[in-house]
Amino acid sequence: MQNDRTMMARTNWIAALLAYSLAFVVAIPFLWMLKSALESPAAATAYPPALLPDGAFIETFRTILFETRLFHWLLNSFLVSTISTLVALSIGIPAAYGLSRFNFRHKGLMTLSILGTQMMPPIVLIIPLYTTFIKLGLADSMVGVVIANAAFSLPVMVWMLKTVFDGVPFEIDEAARIDGASWIYIAARIVVPLSLPGVIAASIFSFLNAWDEFMLARTLLRTVDQWVGTIGLSSLMGEYVTPWNQIMATALIFTLPPVILFLFVQKYFVSGLSAGAVKG
Amino acid sequence: MSIAVSESSPAKAFRSWPNMHLWLFLGPCIASLIAVFLVPIWQTLQMSLYSDTMGRNVAFVGLANYARIIGQDGFLQLLVTSIIYTLGNVFFVWFFGLGIALLLNDHFPGRALIRAIFIIPWATPYVAASLIFSLLFNFDIGVLNYLLSLATGGRFVIDFLNACPNALISLTGISIWKLLPLGIVMMLSALQSIPDSHYEAAKVDGASRLQTFWYVTLPGVRSTTVMLTLLMMIWCFGRSFTAIYLLTGGGPAGCSETIVLRSYLEMFQMFHPGSAAALGVGVLLISMLCAGLYYGMVNRRGSHAE
C-alpha cells in the first residue's frame, strides 16, 4: 500500500486528465461548428472530413453578412430580446422588491405561485397565445413575441432579483425611510444600484431566454423580414442550397453572443435555473 | 434555501405598511402572469373540450378529444417515446453530471476553464445545436460515421436520424448534451454542501474510497438527485420539441415523436385544435405532478436545513 499523500496526488492527476478529455468530448460539437465555419465549401462537404479547417473563411463571412438576411435576423433577435428584457425588468423589479421587503398574508403561497408558472410547459401556453395574438392583429408581428418572452422570463427574473435584494441589508431601507424617502425612491435609487451585478445577471438570463425562443416565434412570424435569428437559422435546416460552411458560420455568429454573455453569469446559473433549490 | 420565506425574511419590521403599496409593487407582475400563464391555460382546457375543427362551427364535445387520442393506434408509441426520451435524459444527465462534478470537486490546474467549457452546451441556442448535430450525424459526410467506418474498416455505419430506434436515441443524446451543465452544476453544489467532517469520520473509520462514496457521497447528494430528477422531468418532457421538430419531425414512422411535438403538429400543421389542446393538457398534468413533488421536496429540505 502506498501512503496517503502519493495516493492522493496520483488520483488527482488521473481525475484531471479525465476531466480534460471529457471537456474535450463535450466541446466537440462546438469545435466542429467552428472548424466547419472556417473552411471552404468544398472542404465542408469533403469525405473523409478533414480534422482541421483550411482557413478559407473570409468569403464565407462576407457572403453571410452582406448577401443573406442574417444581419437583419440578428437585429430582430436583438430587439426582441432587449425589449422583452426591459419589460420584464420593469415589472420584475417592483415585484421582487415587494417580496423581499414586505410581509403579508399568504406571501409563501404567492412566491410559490410566481415560481410555479415557470414549470408550465410552453406548448399549453403557445396554442392559445397564438390564437389570441392573431385575434389582436399581432400575427407576423414581433410585438406578440416580445410580450410572450417578457412574461416567460418574469418568474425566474423575480426569483433571482428577490434573492439579490434579500442580500441588501434592511437597515439601509430603514435609514432612508426615516429620512423620508418613498418606497419607490428606496427601490430605484438604493436597493437596485446596490445589487446591480445581480440585476445584470437576471437581465442576461432573460435576454438569453428570448434569444433562444423558437416555438412561438415559429408560429407567429411568417414573412422573412420579421424572422428572428432562431427562425432564420432553422430555415437553413435540410435545404440543399446553402453550403455547410455557410450554415455553420451562421450558427457560429448566432451562438457567440449567448455563449460570451453566459460566461459572465455562470455563477448565477444555479439560482437562475433551479430557483433556490440548491443550497448555495 | 427555503421557499417559505416568511420566517427568515428581513421584512418583520414593516408588518404595518399600507396595503396599497403591495398592489403597486406586485400588481403588474401578478396581472402579467395571469394574462400570459393562467388565462392561456384556462383557454387550453376549454379548447380541449370543444370540437376538433378550426373556424365557426365549434361545439362542446366533452371528453371526446381525450377519448379519441387515447384510443388512437399511435398513442402508446407516443407515450413510450416521451417516457424513454425523458428518463434517458434524467438518468444520463444525473450520471454524467455526478461523475463530472466529482472530477471538478478536486483541485487541478485549469479547473475554472474546464468548468466553463462544460457549461457551453447550455448557452448554445437549441436551433444552432440542432444544426451542428445534423452535420455531425449526417449519413454521408458526418464525422461520426467517418470515425465509425474508420474504426470498423468500413463495415459499420449508423443511420443516426432516419431509422428506428436510432432517431430517438440520437435526439435523446442531443438533449443530454444540452442539459448536462444543469446536472454538473447542481451536483457540484450538492457535493460542496457535504461537510468535510463526514469524510474525515469515514477516513478515521478506515473506509475505502468506494465505501466513502457509497456511505457518504451518495447519501449527501440524495435530495439534490431527487430534485434534479423532477426538474429534468419537467424541463425535458415539457420542452421536448425544438431539436426533434427540426431534425426528424417526429419520424421516421413517428418513432421519435413526443407528446409535445404531436400537440404542436396537431395545432399548426393538421389544424386540430381540440386534439392539440387535449395533448397539451396531458403534458400540463404530468408537469404539474412533478412540480408539486419538486416543491414538496424543496420545502421539506429547507425546513431540515434550518
Cis, peptide link before residue B181, omega less than 30° from 0 = no
Residue with cell 414512422: B253
Nearest CA distance, A128 vs chain B (angstrom): 5
Q: What is the mean pLDDT of residues A209-236?
A: 90
Q: How confident is the model at residue A139 (pLDDT cuts 50, 70, 90)?
A: confident
According to DSSP, the residues that pair with B50 across neighbouring strands are: B60
Q: How confident is the model at residue B73 (pLDDT cuts 50, 70, 90)?
A: confident
> What is the DSSP-derived secondary structure letter of residue B57?
-
Percent of all residues in chain A with a pLDDT value above 90, rounded to a whole number? 37
Nearest to A210 by CA among A264, A261, A149: A149
Residue A96's pLDDT is: 92
Residue A255's pLDDT is: 94
Q: What is the mean pLDDT of residues A269-278?
A: 50
According to DSSP, the residues that pair with B60 across neighbouring strands are: B50
Residue B253's pLDDT is: 86
Q: Which of B32, B130, B230 to mutate to test the interface with A (most CBs of A within 10 A)?
A: B32
Residue with cell 412566491: A111
CB-nearest partner of A129 from B6, B40, B106: B40
pLDDT above 80 for B298: no
Task: Give the lowest-confidence range in A168-172, B30-34, B84-88.
Answer: A168-172
Fold for A72-239+261-273, please state it: MetI-like fold (1.10.3720)
What is the interface pTM, i.e. ipTM, of the complex?
0.88
User: Which chain B residues contact residue A16 at CB under 8 A?
Assistant: 103, 106, 108-110
List B residues 246-285 in contact with A (Cβ-Cβ < 8 A).
246-247, 260, 263-264, 267-268, 273, 276-277, 280-281, 283-284
pLDDT above 80 for B127: yes
Nearest CA distance, A44 vs chain B (angstrom): 9
Q: What is the mean pLDDT of residues B31-58?
A: 88
Fold for B73-305, please state it: MetI-like fold (1.10.3720)
- Give dist(CA A147, CA B61) in Å, integer: 32
Residue A257's pLDDT is: 93
- What are the CA-CA distances from residue A186 to residues A159, A168, B247 (Å)? 19, 12, 51
Nearest to B63 by CA among B41, B46, B76: B46
H or E stretch at B63: none
Amino acid making up residue A136: L
Q: How confident is the model at residue B18 (pLDDT cuts 50, 70, 90)?
A: low
pLDDT above 50 for B82: yes
Percent of all residues in chain A with a pLDDT value above 70, rounded to a whole number? 92
List B residues 22-51 in contact with A (Cβ-Cβ < 8 A).
22, 24-26, 28-30, 32-33, 35-37, 39-41, 43-44, 47
pLDDT above 90 for B297: no
- What are the CA-CA distances from residue A226 to residues A77, A213, B281 (Å)? 10, 15, 31
pLDDT one-digit tens code per residue, A194-207:
888 889 989 998 99
pLDDT above 70 for B302: no
Write the CB contacts of A104 (distance below 8 Å, at least 6 apart in sequence): A110, B19, B22
Radius of gyration (C-alpha) of chain B in whole angstroms: 24
List B residues 99-138 in contact with A (Cβ-Cβ < 8 A).
100, 102-104, 106-111, 114-136
Nearest CA distance, A54 vs chain B (angstrom): 16
- Give dist(CA A166, CA B73) in Å, integer: 53
- Give dist(CA A234, CA A231) in Å, integer: 5
Query: How confident is the prediction for chain B on average, in pLDDT?
Result: 86
Q: What is the mean pLDDT of residues A205-225?
A: 91
According to DSSP, the residues that pair with A96 across neighbouring strands are: none
Is B11 within 8 Å of A103 when comparing Cβ atoms? yes
DSSP chain A: ---HHHHHHHHHHHHHHHHHHHHHHHHHHHHHHHHHHTS-HHHHT-SSPPSS-----HHHHHHHHHTSSHHHHHHHHHHHHHHHHHHHHHHHHHHHHHHHH---TTHHHHHHHHHHGGGS-HHHHHHHHHHHHHHTT-TT-HHHHHHHHHHHHHHHHHHHHHHHHHTS-HHHHHHHHHTT--HHHIIIIIIHHHTHHHHHHHHHHHHHHHHH--HHHHHH--SGGG--HHHHHHTTTT-SSS-HHHHHHHHHHHHHHHHHHHHHHGGGHHHHHSTT-S--
List A residues 16-35 in contact with B (Cβ-Cβ < 8 A).
16, 18-20, 22-23, 26-30, 32-33
pLDDT above 60 for B305: no
CB atoms within 10 A of CB A117: 22
CB-nearest partner of A20 from B114, B129, B150: B114
Is A103 within 8 Å of B14 when comparing Cβ atoms? yes
Residue A5's pLDDT is: 47
Residue B4's pLDDT is: 41
CB-nearest partner of B135 from A111, A229, A244: A244
List B residues 59-98 in contact with A (Cβ-Cβ < 8 A).
none
Domains of chain B, residue spans? 73-305
Write the CB contacts of B151 (distance below 8 Å, at least 6 apart in sequence): none
Q: Torsion over CA of B42, B287, B124 and B103, rounded to 10 degrees?
A: 160
C-alpha cell at A168: 441588501
Q: What is the mean pLDDT of residues A233-259?
A: 88
